[in-house]
Amino acid sequence: MPLNDDGNAIKGIGYIAIYAANLESDIDECLRLLPTGVALGDALRWQTSRKIRFIRNWSLTLNPMPAELAYLPNHLDHVGGLMEERNQVIHGRLLANLETGELVRESGRPGVPNIQVTSGDMYRLANDLFDAMEGTRHAWMFRIPRALR
């Protein structure tokens, strides 16, 4: 169910954190199913981007690619982009103008401009993260196990 933008960017950031954590859990569940070549505990400590790359690369080795997993490489590319956006929001420099209430993402890099951020931006990302959970969850619950049989 999509979240509606209520104008509260801080609440939107909370949803980003919660939905991204759920998506990371689904990524871990995919990883648990695959032969990583290292101890599972070590693989689960990889950065999320590395986990996504590993699962994506594994899926590309399937020959023939099961039709029900054909979406997975592109889906994981999308998930990786969403998680990068999440990192910018959660770990980046998000500053509030106390007089206007506007939020600005400060780049902190020479030549890279600061950008204004709205509650709509936060809710769009939260909704995109939520939507991405379905494809990732179906992969570990049904599709990857069938491909491994």
pLDDT for 30 equals: 97
Q: Which residues contact 78 (CB under 8 A, 6 or more apart)?
A: 132
Q: What is the mean pLDDT of each run of 10 residues along the chain (149 residues)?
A: 90 97 98 93 96 97 95 98 94 86 85 90 98 97 95
pLDDT tens per residue across span 80-104: 999 999 998 998 888 988 888 788 9
- Count of C-beta atoms within a 10 Å radius of residue 57: 11
CB-CB contact of 19 with 133 (8 Å):
yes
Distance CA 41, CA 44 (A): 5
pLDDT for 114 equals: 86
